[in-house]
């Protein structure tokens, strides 16, 4: 089992839609969780950290479910500019490093 798994998508949604991605992780001792956004041929950019109680940043909401070992990202009122690949990142306590998922591709259409 991969340490961090994501549905590769693509998720094709119309503008204004709400879309959610999940990411599962294998190590129950993981403590740090992030969502990154990566545009085509660009570097990943931090979208948001994920906190235990859940957190929101504008149209973006991140949740952590420790019991089921997954994190989620919810995007409300999707914009064309949200089209990108969303990377889930979780720390590996054993290796003391961050592990990246392969990403979920989102395509928002008019």
Partner 1 sequence: DAGITQSPRHKVTETGTPVTLRCHQTENHRYMYWYRQDPGHGLRLIHYSYGVKDTDKGEVSDGYSVSRSKTEDFLLTLESATSSQTSVYFCAISVGGTNEKLFFGSGTQLSVL
Binding residues for partner 1, per CB under 8 A?
A: 4, 31-32, 34, 42-46, 49, 87, 89, 91, 95-103
- Helix (H, G, I), strand (E, B), or coil: what is residue 94? coil
Minimal distance, residue 19 CB to partner 1, in Å: 21
Q: How far is the CB of 99 from partner 1 (least distance, A)?
A: 7
Smallest distance from the beta carbon of 100 to partner 1, in angstroms?
A: 3
Nearer to partner 1, 13 or 44 (CB): 44
Which residues, 6 or more positions from 43, have their beta carbon under 8 angstroms from its beta carbon?
none
Q: Which is nearer to partner 1, 78 or 90 (CB)?
A: 90
Q: Which of 63, 58, 49 is nearest to 20 (CA)?
A: 63
CB of 29 to partner 1, least distance (A): 12
Give the nearer residue to partner 1 in terms of CB position, either 37 or 108: 37
Give exposure, 4-42, as e/b (b: 16+ Cβ within 10 Å). bbbeeeebebeeeeebebbbbbebeebeebbbbbbeeee
């Amino acid at each position: 089992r991969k340490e961090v798994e994501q549905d590769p998508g693509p998720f094709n949604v119309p503008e204004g839609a709400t879309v959610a991605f999940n990411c599962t992780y294998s190590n129950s001792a993981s403590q740090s969780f992030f969502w990154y956004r990566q545009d085509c041929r660009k570097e990943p950019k931090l979208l948001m950290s994920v906190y235990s109680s859940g957190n929101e940043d504008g149209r973006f909401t991140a949740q952590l479910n420790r019991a089921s070992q997954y994190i989620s990202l919810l995007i409300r009122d999707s914009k064309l500019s949200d089209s990108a690949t969303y990377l889930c990142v979780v720390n590996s306590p054993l290796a003391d490093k961050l592990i990246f998922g392969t990403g979920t591709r989102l395509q928002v259409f008019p």
